[in-house]
Amino acid sequence: MYEIPAPMLAKAAASVPDPTQRPLLYEPKWDGFRGLIAWDGTELRIGSRGAKPLTRYFPELVEHLPALLPGPCLLDGEIVVATGEAGAQRLDWIALSQRIHPAASRVARLAAETPASFIAFDLLAEGADDLQPLPFRERRARLERMLARTTPPLHLTRTTDDPDLARRWLAEFEGAGLDGVVAKPLDDAYAPGKRTLIKIKHARTADVVTLGYRVHKSGSGIGSLLVGLYDADGALRQVGGVAAWSDAMRRQLVTELEPLVERDDSGAAVTDAGERSRFSGAKDVSFVRLRPERVLEVRYDQLEGDRFRHTVQFARWRPDRDARSCTYEQLETVTGYDLARVLT
């Protein structure tokens, strides 16, 4: 019945905006997979942000959501996985990412061990009514009526029109693994593929050590730098990558980093196989090893375990810093916050 559209997207802002120019509604920014749920009364389908079908990866949602939805509808929201003891749960990106696996037996096992939930935050269709042309305030009101008595694994995201409360959420909810805050114009229609929403995420800096680089996919220059931090035992751990260089900078970096390239007895550059994930596919993840001597400052939003959650951004070189001083101790510690309190 329903065609799954490209989801409405968000552009970044440095801080939570005030509703001075136009009325806004604020929501927590969930750190999961964007998902659009299409339920026609017979079949439930799950589409992703990139138009990739997600239905087969979340059999528990396919099983439980039809009984929780009062009728055919098209929902926009986020698929998340929570782990941890009761009273101290948080979103777990690693557990969620493991669900994208080709083996149906593994998917079924993980669905039982770490079941997913769906956080609904927009209603695009209800029955035969296409709601996308309606302003968000009307879509939200209908979503609230539809999910007034919903139960897990289906949740209705909380909202507020108070920017001060949204700023408090930005500070507190990170402890439950959330990604920030989203501000949504109340008078706007749904705009598939358009960046008309506003996302506010945490912005932090850290000094890290260069470990190596990957050649750009064009075959010319540096595509990304691999960076690391020293742990409490003095071991240097890879924590993420820095990308998004200009063409000129990619070529310049090859020259700048040449003196740091590790070489074998024959003089050839030493390469490492690199870490492969389920998202890398057949992509070459090998990298040229560098002596861990050069320090750079990067901007990041949050950690996932002992690694940066997303690709970090280059801020500046730090020739004044000694590589051994780049430790985990410099990173901001986030106070824990129970996910159940966010969902309530």
Catalytic residue list: 29
Buried b (16+ CB within 10 A) or exposed e, 271-280: beeeeeeeee
| Secondary structure letter of residue 93 according to DSSP | H
Question: Within 13 Å and on the Cβ side, how many CA atoms surround 82?
Answer: 24
First-to-final CA distance of the chain: 32
What are the angstrom distances between the C-alpha of 146 and each of 34, 241, 260? 20, 43, 60
What are the angstrom distances between the C-alpha of 37 and each of 5, 61, 99, 137, 254? 11, 10, 17, 20, 46
Q: Which residues pair with 172 in a beta bridge?
A: none
The Cα 156–Cα 145 span in angstroms is: 11
The Cα 45–Cα 160 span in angstroms is: 30
Q: What is the dihedral of CA 61, 62, 67, 72, to 10 degrees?
A: 110
